[in-house]
Amino acid sequence: MNTSIKSALCVLAICLLFSCTDESKKNVALQPLIPQPDNVTLDSGSFILKSGSKIYFDGNQEIKGSADYLSNLLNPATDFDFEVIQSGSIKNKHFNLRLSPDKSDLGDEGYELEITRKRVVLTAYRSAGIFRGIQTIRQLLPPSIEQQGQYNEGLALPVIAIQDTPKYSYRGAMLDVSRHFFDVDEVKRYIDFLTLYKMNRLHLHLADDQGWRIEIKSWPNLTAHGGSTEVGGGTGGFYTQEQYKEIVQYASDRYITIIPEIDMPGHTNAALASYPELNCDGKAPELYTGTRVGFSSLCVDKELTYEFIDDVIREVAALTPGPYIHIGGDESHATEKADYLKFVNRVQGIVRSHGKEMIGWDETAQANLTSTSVTQLWANKEFALQAISKGAKLIMSPASRTYMDLKYDSTTVLGLTWAGYIEVDHGYSWDPAQYMEGVNEDNILGIEAPLWSETVTNMDEIEYMVFPRMPGYAELGWSGSGEWEAYRKRLPGHGVRWEVMDIDFYRSPKVDW
Ligand code: TNX
């Protein structure tokens, strides 16, 4: 036999063995990825998903959770049933999820994805990395994968090799559930959005002037009365501790840590209205349904105030597997400066006494921060410098770049304008490590994009303000910085995906949708 016939037979034999059909030689369209991975090598050909494709995972039960997640992601869009099976070895024709103790350079959330015509192998050092890598697989599949009940015969992944690790360990978004209340299902949907873009922190703003949203068993009137309304006078609402646990668990199943915020000493009208004894004059104010800030303060000289805070932090800490409790501390214009500093120092101690570290908005950096406390920069660069001089790290949320409640432009109906407009390019085109003199990458824990809800009242409105900005913040957190021109070309593909996911997004004129 001459060599060319031999090799043709050989290819045929390999093809029969691995059932590689002509289909797998075809290229599939490369779907745009957000965040852009570090290293991507694209090759020709594809891995075809078929009825009978399985998801193999090695050893660890935690990875089984991710394998089930992948199966649940793929099953509804196909009429296949992606069986999840434990296996010590890599199987051709299937998905393989594996932890590798040798790959410590991938860190907690990095992953390697190797897709050939024969198989998919996703490797990570930690199980969170497997979960992040699954989101890459998800984005590499066509948007129709997000749809229910579509039989998808030509479902294919490109032949590709990806190695990817995040730059920052804190990549988050905030949701203000106080000014308007959003229920458990709405918060879960918000978590789904963060999940798709590999974010890992959800900061919940749980208490403000307009509403107290988390049940505190030792102070039940906080929610009974303080949770009974919202901006505009609606009925408000709150999470029972059981419901809150459900949110924490849903997030944790997606490797997302909830950061609970109880804002104090200002932004506390809902608490002050619920308990007269928390007021310096012993008189409870009315509930507040407007949008002013800076008028309320806990009574910093009363011992009862600190007993109250101790109870609240103890109960919230017990519901919080993550390391942080956010104490707000912003816009305390109704608190004397000296009182404010004493207050923050004392509350930092209370947070630490319950085994947690304190996060505060940038004003809190004026107090005696421990180096383990964290400052969230939103407005004041001087305060950010004070924080790092005390060894504290920063979460970068400059309002003029990251506030998803600000209008896109003058025509946006929802939203505020106090820190300017934030078009998609303006929100994306900055580098947290270059944002200000004196702050570099080492001082930064990560980035967070807040959504305040003075003007945002329902899920459609949340979606409209969050998309398309949030994926850009996710990319800045993952990659550090990016090229707007390249990024804007990746957005339209995601727009198609959002349509399939029934996400109501802003069709920015800066993007060719
Ligand atoms: C400022 S940012 C606030 C919030 C408002 C927001 C509206 C910060 C720490 N405080 O109370 O909701 O602006 O954009």
276 prior amide bond cis, ω within 30: no
pLDDT tens readout for residues 297-349 = 999 999 999 999 999 999 999 999 999 999 999 999 999 999 999 999 999 99
Can you tell me the distance from the alpha carbon of 455 to that of 470, in angstroms, rounded to the nearest whole number? 18
Q: How far is the CA of 327 from the centre of ligand 1 (A)?
A: 14
Q: How far is the CA of 452 from the centre of ligand 1 (A)?
A: 7
Protein residue closest via CA to atom 5 of ligand 1: 452
In this structure, the dihedral spanned by the alpha carbons of residues 313, 315, 317 and 321, taken in order and rounded to 10 degrees, is: -160
Mutate to test the pocket of ligand 1, among 406, 416, 452 (most ligand atoms within 8 A of CB): 452
Tell me if domain 3-164 and domain 170-483+494-500 are identical in fold.
no
Check residue 236 and report its DSSP letter. -
Any catalytic annotation for residue 331? yes
Protein residue closest via CA to atom 12 of ligand 1: 452
Protein residue closest via CA to atom 13 of ligand 1: 452
Alpha carbon of residue 360 to chain centroid: 18
pTM score, whole prediction: 0.95
Mean pLDDT by 10 residues, the chain (513 residues): 45 45 82 97 95 91 94 90 94 96 97 98 97 98 87 84 98 98 98 98 98 98 98 98 98 98 98 98 98 97 98 98 98 96 98 98 98 98 98 98 98 98 98 98 98 98 98 98 96 97 98 98
C-alpha distances out from residue 381 to 249, 384, 386, Å = 35, 5, 9
Q: How far is the CA of 33 from the centre of ligand 1 (A)?
A: 32
CATH class for the domain made up of 3-164? alpha beta
Q: How far is the CA of 280 from the centre of ligand 1 (A)?
A: 25
What residues does each domain of the chain span? 3-164, 170-483+494-500
Query: Which overall architecture, per CATH, does domain 170-483+494-500 show?
Result: Alpha-Beta Barrel (3.20)
| Element holding 6 (H helix, E strand) | helix 3-18
| Residue 403 CA, closest ligand 1 atom number | 14
Which structure tokens are listed for 207?
Answer: 């208490």
Which candidate in 109, 112, 315, 331 is catalytic? 331
| Residue 406 CA, closest ligand 1 atom number | 14
Q: How far is the CA of 512 from the centre of ligand 1 (A)?
A: 32
Q: Please list every protein residue whose CB sits less than 6 Å from any atom of ligand 1.
A: 293, 330-331, 361, 378, 403, 405, 416, 452, 454
Cβ distance 449 to 469 under 8 Å? yes
Within 8 A by CB and 6+ apart from 97, the residues are 55, 56, 57, 58, 63, 66, 67, 70, 122, 130, 134
